[in-house]
């Protein structure tokens, strides 16, 4: 194993550099977080942690977080499954699938708060639906229901993207076989299709559970005082009460369910797949697997949900071009003027940070992915595991850990762009790693052997054969880092400063100041930029017709 390194100095250097970076930006912050929670002036103590664990308010926040995550997991998985089943089985025209994909993609590439803002616009005290349409006075939008609805709308696409390829990959003959043995369509679905999807459903549930657990933006806006959740509490503890230790302790509590999900997903769910998703469809279903009634019902549900999403975004767009939605509907561009004057710094900073994080994150993804798949060296598996930590943990934890680790010497990065860029690379680069690993596992060893057999050395083989084949993963990984750099907030809200700020943070400021117009305009801007970049990268990916070329949208699924 170590022999390989000695023979290949380039690999050895890469491995050492990557380990150093992982130690600095993944392990070190977590250790510092742990230190802050469990020590006081150099001595070990659980007093800080106990303070949190015995505070009834915080205990409620913990249970609320779990309750919300479980509900979002269930509802989002069901909704995602309905969409996936409709898309995979109804033999819809291609154009319609493209429309579904685009609509479903919207929440995934939007800045946080977008559905939350739309909920307030629609169901708030002066909401379009509650006040204008139904004439309700003093309607309250804040609480579990609206938070749940908003998070389900935001995260169900993850379930859709997880389940659709799985459903498409089920061997249609297996279902045909059940049918030929006399089973009704419903029985085929119940005894064959659904059981084969169970691992995927479990996976989708865990992904949604984790996403909801980590989400602090939606509850911050919608949950209200009566439904506190952990990430929000940690945020308020730090920004409101300037209690870094208390915030760290709260985020530390969040660590356990998050790690449990990560372990379950990695070591339990992934081994229970009956269906191998290769990216290649298993061909047409041998029969109409859905009865006409069920088909109509499914289409109706999906159309309804899609309409709600479209309505939310239309509302957002509308809010950005009227003076004040709900009060004064005169068309105006003043909100855009505001964001391009007062908000220009945030836009510029965000774009600069994204522009640096994007290529570095893409490079990090394929380099680490390539090394852990194709090279054998000591600690190969642990390198992969460590690289996934920042990705798996809720952003609140990562943000607070960075804040603690890099605020003081020896490594003082607070207030710089570098800390935000590093946070993005190590938090969202793992998508590129997974894409690279998945692609490399599909590339048969014989391809590289064929190249060597034709007289090419290992360098030439890498350059001419392997690299072109993993380029799709590079661009997909880079795209995801860019999108997240534009839309993320949970970790980086702790890392912004006067020198470097972000659009998403600006949106939050606007919402808290109740200037919803500029918030809507910022959100529209982000959605537009992200869609343009997705379109460009989609073009690039299309040119690589490599086997199982990764689609970036699928990677956004989790």
Q: Does 278 bind another protein (CB under 8 A)?
A: no
Residues 191 and 181 sit within 8 Å (Cβ to Cβ): no
When asked if residue 195 is in the footprint of another protein (CB under 8 A), the reply is: yes
Residue placing its CB nearer to another protein in the complex, 182 or 410: 182
From residue 286 to residue 325, what is the string marking binding to another protein with x (rule CB under 8 A)?
xx--------------------------------------
Residue 71 interacting with another protein (CB under 8 A): no
Residue from 96, 179, 385, 505 touching another protein (CB under 8 A): that is 179
- Residue 10 as a binder of another protein (CB under 8 A): the answer is no
| Integer Rg of the chain from CA | 24
Closest approach of Cβ 196 to another protein, in Å? 6
Do 390 and 26 form a contact (C-beta atoms < 8 A)? yes
Under the binding rule (CB under 8 A), the answer on residue 281 touching another protein is: no
The answer for residues whose C-beta is within 8 angstroms of residue 416's C-beta and 6 or more apart is 497, 499, 500
| Stretch near another protein under the rule CB under 8 A, chosen from 107-115, 143-151, 177-185, 484-492 | 177-185
Using H for helix, E for strand and C for coil, what is the string for 493-520?
HHCCCCCCCCHHHHHHHHHHCCCHHHHH
Q: How far is the CB of 201 from another protein (least distance, A)?
A: 13
C-alpha span between 370 and 373 (Å, rounded) = 5
DSSP 17: H
181 vs 331 by CB, closer to another protein: 181
Q: Does the footprint of another protein cover residue 547 (CB under 8 A)?
A: no
Stretch near another protein under the rule CB under 8 A, chosen from 144-152, 174-182, 246-254, 303-311: 174-182
Residue 275 sits in the site that holds another protein (CB under 8 A): yes
DSSP 44: E
Count of beta carbons in the 10 Å neighbourhood of residue 262: 18
Query: Which of 9/182 has CB closer to another protein?
Result: 182
- Residues that bind another protein (rule: CB under 8 A) add up to a total of 23
CB 182, min distance to another protein, A:
4
Helix (H) or strand (E) holding 124: none
Task: Write the binding mask 128 to 167 for another protein: x where contact by CB under 8 A, - elsewhere.
Answer: ----------------------------------------
DSSP-assigned beta bridge partners for residue 91: none
Strands (DSSP E) contained in 205-335 are 322-324, 328-331
Distance, CA of 487 to CA of 435 (rounded, Å): 21
Which span sits near another protein by CB under 8 A: 8-16, 192-200, 306-314, 321-329? 192-200
d(CA 267, CA 543) in angstroms, rounded, equals 35
Query: Is residue 181 at the binding interface for another protein, with CB under 8 A as the rule?
Result: yes
CA distances from 46 to 28, 50, 237, 391 (A): 20, 6, 18, 27
Please give the Cα distance from 110 to 486 (Å, whole number): 9
Which residues of the chain form contacts with another protein (CB under 8 A)? Answer: 171, 173-174, 176-185, 187, 191-192, 195-196, 198, 274-275, 286-287
């Amino acid at each position: 194993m170590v022999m390989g390194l000695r023979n290949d100095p380039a690999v050895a250097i890469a491995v050492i550099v990557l380990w150093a970076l992982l130690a600095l930006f993944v392990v070190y912050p977590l250790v510092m977080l742990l230190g802050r929670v469990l020590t006081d002036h150099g001595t070990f103590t659980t007093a800080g942690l106990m303070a949190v664990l015995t505070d009834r308010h915080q205990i409620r926040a913990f249970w609320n977080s779990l309750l919300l995550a479980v509900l979002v997991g269930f509802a989002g998985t069901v909704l995602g499954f309905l969409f996936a089943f409709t898309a995979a089985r109804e033999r819809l025209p291609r154009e319609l699938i493209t429309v579904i994909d685009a609509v479903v993609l919207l929440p995934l590439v939007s800045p946080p708060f977008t559905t939350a803002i739309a909920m307030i616009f629609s169901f708030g005290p002066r909401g379009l639906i509650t006040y204008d349409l139904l004439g309700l006075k003093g309607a309250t939008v804040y609480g579990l229901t609206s938070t749940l609805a908003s998070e389900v709308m935001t995260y169900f696409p993850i379930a859709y993207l997880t389940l659709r390829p799985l459903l498409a990959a089920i061997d249609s003959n297996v279902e045909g076989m059940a049918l030929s043995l006399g089973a009704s369509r419903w029985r085929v679905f119940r005894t064959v299709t659904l059981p084969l999807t169970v691992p995927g459903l479990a996976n989708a549930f865990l992904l949604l559970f984790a996403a909801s657990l980590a989400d602090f933006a939606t509850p911050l806006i919608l949950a209200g005082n009566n439904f506190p959740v952990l990430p929000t509490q940690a945020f308020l503890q730090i920004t409101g009460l300037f209690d870094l230790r208390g915030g760290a302790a709260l985020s530390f509590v969040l660590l356990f369910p998050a790690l449990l999900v990560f372990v379950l997903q990695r070591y339990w769910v992934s081994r229970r797949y009956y269906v191998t998703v290769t990216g290649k469809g298993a061909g047409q279903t041998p029969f109409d697997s859905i009865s006409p009634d069920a088909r109509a019902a499914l289409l109706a549900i999906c159309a309804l949900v899609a309409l709600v999403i479209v309505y939310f975004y239309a509302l957002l767009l509308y809010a950005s071009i009227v003076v004040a939605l709900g009060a004064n509907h005169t068309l105006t561009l003043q909100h855009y003027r505001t964001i391009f004057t007062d908000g220009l710094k945030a836009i510029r900073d965000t774009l600069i940070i994204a522009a640096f994080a994007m290529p570095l994150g893409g490079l990090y993804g394929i380099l680490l992915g390539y090394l852990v798949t194709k090279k054998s060296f000591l600690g190969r598996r642990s390198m992969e595991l460590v690289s996934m930590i920042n990705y798996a943990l809720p952003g609140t934890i990562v943000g607070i850990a960075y804040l603690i680790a890099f605020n003081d010497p020896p490594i003082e990065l607070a207030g710089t762009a570098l800390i935000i860029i590093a946070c993005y690379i190590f938090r969202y680069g793992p998508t590129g790693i997974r894409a690279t690993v998945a692609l490399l596992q599909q590339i048969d060893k014989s391809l590289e052997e064929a190249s060597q057999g034709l007289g090419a050395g290992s360098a030439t083989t890498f350059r001419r054969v392997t690299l072109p084949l993993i380029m799709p993963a590079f661009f997909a990984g880079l795209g995801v880092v860019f999108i997240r750099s534009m839309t993320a907030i949970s970790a980086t809200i702790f890392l912004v400063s006067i020198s470097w700020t972000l659009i998403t943070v600006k949106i939050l400021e606007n919402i808290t100041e109740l200037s919803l117009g500029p918030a809507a305009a910022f959100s529209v801007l982000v959605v537009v930029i992200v869609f343009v970049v997705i379109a460009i990268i989609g073009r690039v990916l299309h040119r690589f017709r490599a086997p199982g070329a990764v689609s970036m949208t699928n990677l956004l699924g989790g």
